[in-house]
Amino acid sequence: MPHLALTAMAQSKLSSASCILPLGLVLGSCQSPPDSDLLAANAALAPLSQNRILSQSCFAVAYPNGVAADFVRYLFSDLGSAEWPVAFGEGDVEQMEAMGQVPLPPNVVISAHERQYPDRKELVITAVAGLIQVRGYLPQETEPNFVDEWELGTASTSPEVVPLCESNIDMGLGIDLEPQPPMP
Protein backbone atom coordinates (compact mmCIF):
# COMPACT_ATOMS: atom_id res chain seq x y z
CA MET A 1 0.00 0.00 0.00
CA PRO A 2 1.42 3.45 -0.88
CA HIS A 3 2.09 6.12 1.67
CA LEU A 4 -0.36 9.02 1.58
CA ALA A 5 1.05 12.40 2.46
CA LEU A 6 -1.09 15.30 3.55
CA THR A 7 1.13 17.89 1.88
CA ALA A 8 4.47 17.96 0.17
CA MET A 9 5.89 20.00 3.05
CA ALA A 10 4.61 17.61 5.70
CA GLN A 11 5.94 14.67 3.71
CA SER A 12 9.41 16.16 3.50
CA LYS A 13 9.56 16.47 7.30
CA LEU A 14 8.90 12.80 7.96
CA SER A 15 11.80 10.89 9.39
CA SER A 16 12.87 7.61 7.86
CA ALA A 17 11.77 5.72 10.96
CA SER A 18 8.20 7.01 11.01
CA CYS A 19 4.96 5.30 10.09
CA ILE A 20 2.40 7.07 7.94
CA LEU A 21 -1.34 6.83 8.51
CA PRO A 22 -2.88 6.42 5.04
CA LEU A 23 -6.40 7.85 4.91
CA GLY A 24 -6.52 7.86 8.68
CA LEU A 25 -6.22 4.08 8.95
CA VAL A 26 -3.52 2.65 11.13
CA LEU A 27 -1.32 0.12 9.37
CA GLY A 28 -0.21 -2.95 11.24
CA SER A 29 3.46 -2.14 10.75
CA CYS A 30 5.79 0.55 9.48
CA GLN A 31 6.51 0.44 5.79
CA SER A 32 9.73 1.47 4.20
CA PRO A 33 9.99 5.25 4.04
CA PRO A 34 9.24 7.19 0.87
CA ASP A 35 12.26 7.54 -1.41
CA SER A 36 14.20 10.78 -0.81
CA ASP A 37 14.65 11.53 -4.55
CA LEU A 38 10.92 11.14 -5.18
CA LEU A 39 10.14 13.34 -2.19
CA ALA A 40 12.60 15.96 -3.47
CA ALA A 41 10.94 15.92 -6.92
CA ASN A 42 7.55 16.31 -5.26
CA ALA A 43 8.86 19.18 -3.10
CA ALA A 44 10.26 20.82 -6.26
CA LEU A 45 7.01 20.63 -8.24
CA ALA A 46 4.35 21.19 -5.54
CA PRO A 47 5.06 24.93 -5.14
CA LEU A 48 4.37 25.49 -8.86
CA SER A 49 0.66 25.04 -8.10
CA GLN A 50 0.58 27.43 -5.13
CA ASN A 51 -0.47 31.09 -5.10
CA ARG A 52 3.02 32.62 -4.77
CA ILE A 53 4.41 30.86 -7.85
CA LEU A 54 1.14 30.96 -9.84
CA SER A 55 1.24 34.77 -9.65
CA GLN A 56 4.46 34.68 -11.71
CA SER A 57 3.27 31.89 -14.02
CA CYS A 58 1.50 32.05 -17.37
CA PHE A 59 -1.05 29.45 -16.19
CA ALA A 60 -3.83 31.97 -15.43
CA VAL A 61 -3.28 33.67 -18.80
CA ALA A 62 -3.54 30.33 -20.60
CA TYR A 63 -6.40 29.03 -18.41
CA PRO A 64 -8.25 32.00 -16.85
CA ASN A 65 -10.65 29.69 -14.97
CA GLY A 66 -8.18 26.85 -14.67
CA VAL A 67 -8.79 23.79 -12.53
CA ALA A 68 -6.42 21.00 -11.44
CA ALA A 69 -6.82 19.06 -14.72
CA ASP A 70 -5.93 22.22 -16.69
CA PHE A 71 -2.88 22.74 -14.49
CA VAL A 72 -1.59 19.24 -15.24
CA ARG A 73 -2.07 19.86 -18.99
CA TYR A 74 -0.29 23.21 -18.65
CA LEU A 75 2.56 21.81 -16.55
CA PHE A 76 3.53 19.46 -19.39
CA SER A 77 3.14 22.04 -22.18
CA ASP A 78 5.98 23.99 -23.78
CA LEU A 79 5.20 27.05 -21.68
CA GLY A 80 4.53 25.17 -18.44
CA SER A 81 7.58 22.92 -18.59
CA ALA A 82 9.74 26.03 -19.00
CA GLU A 83 8.70 26.90 -15.42
CA TRP A 84 9.99 23.64 -13.92
CA PRO A 85 12.75 24.13 -11.31
CA VAL A 86 15.57 22.53 -13.28
CA ALA A 87 19.20 23.05 -12.25
CA PHE A 88 21.81 22.69 -14.98
CA GLY A 89 24.83 22.77 -12.71
CA GLU A 90 26.01 23.18 -9.14
CA GLY A 91 25.78 26.98 -9.45
CA ASP A 92 22.09 26.70 -10.36
CA VAL A 93 21.47 24.37 -7.42
CA GLU A 94 23.11 26.84 -5.01
CA GLN A 95 21.11 29.79 -6.40
CA MET A 96 17.83 27.89 -6.25
CA GLU A 97 18.45 26.71 -2.70
CA ALA A 98 19.40 30.26 -1.64
CA MET A 99 15.97 31.38 -2.91
CA GLY A 100 14.25 28.56 -1.02
CA GLN A 101 13.50 26.62 -4.18
CA VAL A 102 14.07 22.88 -4.45
CA PRO A 103 15.59 21.77 -7.78
CA LEU A 104 14.26 18.68 -9.52
CA PRO A 105 16.55 15.71 -8.94
CA PRO A 106 18.07 14.70 -12.30
CA ASN A 107 17.45 11.00 -11.66
CA VAL A 108 13.65 11.32 -11.40
CA VAL A 109 11.47 11.33 -14.52
CA ILE A 110 8.23 13.34 -14.43
CA SER A 111 5.19 12.06 -16.35
CA ALA A 112 1.58 13.11 -16.84
CA HIS A 113 -1.38 10.88 -16.01
CA GLU A 114 0.24 7.43 -16.05
CA ARG A 115 3.53 5.69 -15.54
CA GLN A 116 5.66 5.65 -18.69
CA TYR A 117 9.14 4.64 -17.53
CA PRO A 118 8.91 1.60 -15.21
CA ASP A 119 12.68 1.13 -15.17
CA ARG A 120 13.27 4.60 -13.63
CA LYS A 121 12.32 6.59 -10.57
CA GLU A 122 9.21 8.39 -11.72
CA LEU A 123 6.77 10.98 -10.46
CA VAL A 124 3.34 10.75 -12.12
CA ILE A 125 1.18 13.87 -11.89
CA THR A 126 -2.54 13.82 -12.55
CA ALA A 127 -5.77 15.45 -11.45
CA VAL A 128 -8.16 13.39 -9.32
CA ALA A 129 -11.49 14.72 -8.03
CA GLY A 130 -10.35 18.32 -8.51
CA LEU A 131 -7.04 17.82 -6.71
CA ILE A 132 -3.52 17.54 -8.06
CA GLN A 133 -2.25 14.07 -7.27
CA VAL A 134 1.36 12.89 -7.39
CA ARG A 135 2.41 9.25 -7.26
CA GLY A 136 6.08 8.41 -6.81
CA TYR A 137 7.36 5.10 -8.19
CA LEU A 138 10.61 3.25 -7.72
CA PRO A 139 12.14 1.31 -10.64
CA GLN A 140 10.39 -1.98 -11.39
CA GLU A 141 7.65 -1.33 -8.80
CA THR A 142 3.99 -1.37 -9.81
CA GLU A 143 2.67 0.25 -6.64
CA PRO A 144 3.61 3.83 -5.76
CA ASN A 145 6.22 4.40 -3.07
CA PHE A 146 4.13 7.37 -1.89
CA VAL A 147 1.08 9.41 -2.90
CA ASP A 148 0.55 13.11 -2.29
CA GLU A 149 -2.32 15.39 -3.27
CA TRP A 150 -3.30 19.00 -2.78
CA GLU A 151 -5.57 21.72 -4.09
CA LEU A 152 -4.58 24.06 -6.88
CA GLY A 153 -3.87 27.54 -5.58
CA THR A 154 -5.76 30.58 -6.80
CA ALA A 155 -4.34 31.40 -10.19
CA SER A 156 -4.02 35.14 -10.78
CA THR A 157 -1.06 36.28 -12.84
CA SER A 158 0.68 39.53 -11.87
CA PRO A 159 -0.14 42.31 -14.37
CA GLU A 160 3.51 42.76 -15.30
CA VAL A 161 3.76 39.09 -16.32
CA VAL A 162 0.69 39.07 -18.62
CA PRO A 163 2.31 40.74 -21.70
CA LEU A 164 5.23 38.28 -21.61
CA CYS A 165 2.83 35.33 -21.37
CA GLU A 166 0.63 36.61 -24.19
CA SER A 167 3.71 37.17 -26.36
CA ASN A 168 4.96 33.63 -25.74
CA ILE A 169 1.55 32.18 -26.60
CA ASP A 170 1.32 34.36 -29.75
CA MET A 171 4.76 33.09 -30.82
CA GLY A 172 3.43 29.55 -30.71
CA LEU A 173 4.59 28.19 -27.38
CA GLY A 174 2.08 25.48 -26.54
CA ILE A 175 -0.17 25.79 -23.51
CA ASP A 176 -1.55 22.26 -23.57
CA LEU A 177 -0.13 18.83 -22.81
CA GLU A 178 2.42 17.81 -25.41
CA PRO A 179 3.29 14.19 -26.14
CA GLN A 180 6.38 13.19 -24.20
CA PRO A 181 9.37 11.92 -26.17
CA PRO A 182 10.86 8.58 -25.13
CA MET A 183 13.56 8.81 -22.48
CA PRO A 184 16.92 7.19 -23.23
Q: Which pLDDT tens digit goes with each residue over 123-150?
A: 999 999 999 999 999 999 999 999 999 9
Q: Which pLDDT tens digit goes with each residue over 29-72?
A: 445 689 999 999 999 999 999 998 898 899 988 898 999 999 99
Q: What is the mean pLDDT of the chain?
A: 81
Q: Which pLDDT tens digit goes with each residue over 82-92?
A: 899 988 888 88
Specify the 3-state DSSP secondary structure of 47: helix
**Which residues are within 8 A (CB) of 149 and not within 5 positions of it... i.e. 6 or more apart?**
128, 131, 132, 133, 134
Domain boundaries, the chain: 3-12+32-170
Q: Is the pLDDT of residue 25 over 80?
A: no
> What whole-number distance in Å separates Cα of residue 55 and Cα of residue 60?
8
109: part of which helix (H) or strand (E)?
A: strand 108-112
> What whole-number distance in Å separates Cα of residue 155 and Cα of residue 109?
26
Check residue 161 and give its pLDDT: 85
> What whole-number distance in Å separates Cα of residue 147 and Cα of residue 136?
6
